[in-house]
Amino acid sequence: MRLTLHVWRQDGPNSAGKLETYPLDGIEAEMSFLEMFDVLNDKLTVEGKEPIAFGHDCREGICGSCSLMINGAAHGPWKGATTCQLHMRAFKDGDQIWVEPWRAKAFPMIRDLVVDRSSFDRIIQAGGFVSVNTGGARDANEILIGKETVDESMDAAACIGCGACVAACPNASASLFTGAKITHLGLLPQGQPERDRRALAMVEQMDLEGFGHCTLTGECQEACPKEISIDVIKRMNRDYAVASVRYAEPKEAVGAG
C-alpha cells in the first residue's frame, strides 16, 4: 500500500520541532507499524537524511519502550495493543498517518519521537516495592494467597510502564501507572506493612514530577495496552486518603547506630 506519513521531527530538547511529510510506498499488510518505520528509516538513510529516532526494543508488547501517538491515539487504533504490536492491516492504501511523541511536562523531549520517562522510575523509587533484602525469606508456600487475589494483583502488575496513560490523559496524570503499582502490591499480604507509606510517597512523588491531577476521564484505560482498569486509581485514592489520616512518620529508634 501507499501511505503518507506526517512525523514529528525535533533535533533535541531545545530545538524547535515540526511535522515532516513522507510519502511511502510498498508497505504490506503483514508488516508491523515499526517495521514500516524501519522501511522509512532505511529510505531516509539511503537518501542521505537522518533517520527518525523512536523508542522500541522487544517488539512484542512487553518492554514498554515503544511510544507513539498515531492519529491522535496513544499506541494507535488497536485496543489492548502497543505500537509495536500494531500491524499495517489496520490501515489501507492511500491513508494519511500522523505520528507524534508522548507529550507531557513530566516526559521531557529527547529527540524526534523519544521522550524521557525517568519520572516513572522515580515514582517507583518513592515506594513501589516491598522492603525485603535478599536471603532470609521464608518458604514461598507459607504465604497463602487466594487465586482470585493473585489474579487481580497480576492484572495490575501487568503494567509495562509505557506512559500511554499519561499521553492520553487531558491532564497528563500518571494515576493509572501509579495506581497499578499500588494495587499490585496493596492486594498482596507481602505489601501490607508498607501500604500506607507507599501510597503517600508515590502519590507525592507523582505530584513532584509535574504530572497532572486525575479527574477520572477514563482516557487512560482506553489507551492502556494492558487494559488496566481505572479501578486501580480508585483504589489508590482510597489508600491515599486512609493513609493520610492514619500514617505518621516513624520516629528514629532511640540509640540507633
Partner 1 sequence: MIELKSNIPAGPIDEKWDKHRFDMKLVNPANKRKYDVIVVGAGLAGASAAATMAELGYNVSCFVFHDSPRRAHSIAAQGGINAAKNYQNDGDSIQRLFYDTVKGGDFRAREANVYRLAQVSVNIIDQCVAQGVPFAREYGGLLANRSFGGAQVSRTFYARGQTGQQLLIGAYQALERQISLGKVKMHTQSEMLDVVVHEGRARGIVVRNLVNGDITAHSADAVVLATGGYGNVFFLSTNAMYSNVTASWRAHKRGAAFANPCYTQIHPTCIPVSGDHQSKLTLMSESLRNDGRVWVPKKQGDHRPASQIPDSERDYFLERKYPSFGNLAPRDIASRAAKEVCDEGRGVGPGGLGVYLDFADSIKRLGQKTISERYGNLFDMYQRITDENPYEKPMRIYPAVHYTMGGTWVDYNLMSTVPGLHVIGEANFSDHGANRLGASALMQGLADGYFVLPYTIGNYLAGVKPEKVDVDKHPAFTDAVNAVKAQTNRLLNIKGKRTVDSFHKELGKIMWDHCGMARTREGLTLALEQIPKLREEFWSNVNVPGSGATLNQSLEKAGRVADFIELGELMCRDALHREESCGGHFRVEYQEEGEALRNDDDFAYVAAWEWTGDGQPQRLHKEPLEYENVKMATRSYK
Q: Which of 2, 19, 58, 244 binds partner 1 (CB under 8 A)?
A: 58
- Nearer to ligand FES by Cβ, of 84 and 88: the residue is 84
In the complex, the residues that contact ligand SF4 under the rule CB under 6 A are 159-165, 176-177, 180, 223-226, 228
146 binds, among partner 1, ligand SF4, ligand FES, none (CB under 5 to 8 A by kind): partner 1
Cα 26 to the center of its chain, rounded Å: 32
Q: Which of 56, 111, 117, 226 binds ligand FES (CB under 6 A)?
A: 56
Contact at 8 Å (CB) between 74 and 164? yes
Q: Which of 50, 57, 121, 207 binds ligand FES (CB under 6 A)?
A: 57
> Cβ 85 to ligand SF4, closest distance in Å?
13
- Nearer to ligand SF4 by Cβ, of 107 and 177: the residue is 177
Quick one: which segment of 60-68, 91-99, 122-130, 180-188 binds ligand FES (CB under 6 A)? 60-68
119 binds, among ligand SF4, ligand FES, partner 1, none (CB under 5 to 8 A by kind): none
- Nearer to partner 1 by Cβ, of 93 and 170: the residue is 93
Interface positions with ligand FES (CB under 6 A): 56-59, 61-66, 82-84
